[in-house]
Structure 1
Amino acid sequence: MNNQSPIGIFDSGYGGLTVFKSIAKQLPQYDYIYLGDNARSPYGDHSFETVYQYTLECVEWLFAQGCQLVILACNTASAKALRSIQQLDLPQKYPGRRVLGVIRPTAEVVGHYSKSGNIGVMGTRGTVNSKSYLMEIGHFFPAVKVYQQSCPMWVPLIENGEHLDAGADYFVDKYLSQLLAQAPDIDCILLACTHYPLLVPKIAQRLEGNVQLLSQGEIVANSLADYLKRHPEMESRLAKNNSRAYYTSGDTQSFDEHASLFLGEEVRSERLVNR
């Protein structure tokens, strides 16, 4: 097998770019293909079966581009599709390839950020209803109490570029108040959606100084770096030309404008016609 394989990064829309930015910063030498399924975003309110089907289609497209390793930089896809893909599809159809998510690496470390043992998790309805974080954090930190809050309006606000407008304040206040009402001594809040870091300025100004706000980008980047060290057989397959390619199932102009804001640099994407 030749070592010309890019790393695939998948998200339902733009949010995964926050994870990709951290990964590319820490591991700049590799080639990357980013795919945003913007035409069918957001995934948060879709059923398990629909999210699984959409995610599998996109993963298989990335495989067809030569990716041996794909990162689901999407909490909803990680919660609703990752396990099925890992247990059913990879062994039968793609035994040499790997698909990793963002929930497990986050759950492995999040307990270290709380002194009170009370952690808040803010995510989409799909992620919250899956209870994936409750199970995964409970596995690594059984003494920690986890309180969840779904934030169904945050992704639409971000996808429509309205997250920094005054109109977003109501929904930031609403969901934070609902979370903190569950347990006033929460001292760590995990933003369990890769879109949410764009709301950090508004969220942070509403929190007391003892509450730590945790995004996933750096955590996932550290986990991937560790994975590649532990799996030299996969690392040796990866192309190292420092190249980047961006694809979207939606409108390329809209994607490029949003992606440039997420990444802080100009982006030129291509339209994904056939999944």
Structure 2
Amino acid sequence: MNDTKSIGIFDSGYGGLTVFKSIADKLPEYNYIYMGDNARSPYGDHSYETVYQYTLECVEWLFAQGCPLVILACNTASAKALRTIQQRVLPVKYPNHRVLGVIRPTAEVIGGYTETNTIGVMGTRGTVNSESYPIEISHFFPELNVVQQSCPLWVPLIENNEHINPGADYFVQKYVDELLAKSPAIDTILLACTHYPLLIPKLRAMLPEGFKLVAQGDIVAHSLADYLQRHPELEIQLGRARSKKFYTSGDEKVFDQNASIFFDENIVSSRVRW
């Protein structure tokens, strides 16, 4: 067994750390490498071509670090880049590597949360405009009504640690009101950005009692555990030294300071320069 092989986890910035935390809690025995492309974040308003290029560069970097499996813990990257990487890049250049996203695992279970068959999806402009969630959810729950709302200011607020301040309340409430105005039948909101779980305390205070808020961390962690069980040829490659390494394309000191908010541990990262 090669103890240097790791599961790679990629995000455009910090949000993927919420998914990483859930994965590491459920599957603590493996080695992990996290890559945050903070220097080029946020991805939400970039074009498909730009997001694809940035994502591919980060995925290939993780492959080079010894990651046979990479999780795109970023909804925008999953929406805009995952399918092309899986279908066009892996078979030609990396046939023994795998890249997974966060949209499909969520789509497979989201129908079990709603009693009205109507859910709201809150995400970045890139995720919402891609229509990835309505398309994927329709494969598993064709009867579900999916109502989307883009929240372009939430990621900047969170990444600047402004989301905890009262001044952020206006922008949190604004997008919630815009979503609920689209359908009174919504009883479940999917937080389709891995940054958004940090807003859950504010969202619970703003939403009617009994509303369901669905974050993706535990869903993705459960799906990954199942995937590894079904693919022992990949699972056996993974090292079990319980190591966690963190990298950022931005300022490592800033990353370390802010990352602890998402990961709930002190983090020491290294910088990757493109």
Q: Percent identity?
A: 69
Find the aligned partners of 1:216 and 1:262 in 2 and give their Cα distance.
14
Using the size of structure 1 for normalisation, the TM-score is 0.98
Partner of 2:97: 97
Partner of 2:82: 82
Q: How do residues 176-187 of structure 1 correspond to structure 2 at under 5 angstroms? A: 176-187=176-187
Divergent runs of 4+, >3 A: 1-4
Within the alignment, does 1:37 sit opposite 2:28 as a pair? Answer: no
Superposed displacement of residue 110, structure 1: 0.3
Superposed displacement of residue 185, structure 1: 1.6
Find the aligned partners of 2:57 and 2:198 in 1 and give their Cα distance.
27
Superposed displacement of residue 264, structure 1: 1.3
Superposed displacement of residue 3, structure 1: 5.6
Superposed displacement of residue 4, structure 1: 3.3
Partner of 2:70: 70
Superposed displacement of residue 115, structure 1: 0.5
Residues 10, 16 of structure 1: 8 Å contact kept = yes
Q: How do residues 227-266 of structure 1 correspond to structure 2 at under 5 angstroms? A: 227-266=227-266
Q: How do residues 59-208 of structure 1 correspond to structure 2 at under 5 angstroms? A: 59-208=59-208
Find the aligned partners of 1:90 and 1:127 in 2 and give their Cα distance.
23
Superposed displacement of residue 2, structure 1: 4.1
Residues 3, 236 of structure 1: 8 Å contact kept = no
Residues 120, 188 of structure 2: 8 Å contact kept = yes
Partner of 2:11: 11
Find the aligned partners of 1:235 and 1:211 in 2 and give their Cα distance.
38
Find the aligned partners of 1:173 and 1:147 in 2 and give their Cα distance.
17
Query: Which structure 1 residue ranges, 5 or more long, are not aligned?
Result: none
Partner of 2:51: 51
CA RMSD of aligned residues (A): 0.8
Q: Deviations over 1:8-55 (max 9, x none)?
A: 000000000000000000000000000000000000000000000000
Query: Which structure 2 residue ranges, 5 or more long, are not aligned?
Result: none
Greater shift in the superposed pair: 78-87 or 252-261: 252-261
Find the aligned partners of 2:205 and 2:186 in 1 and give their Cα distance.
16
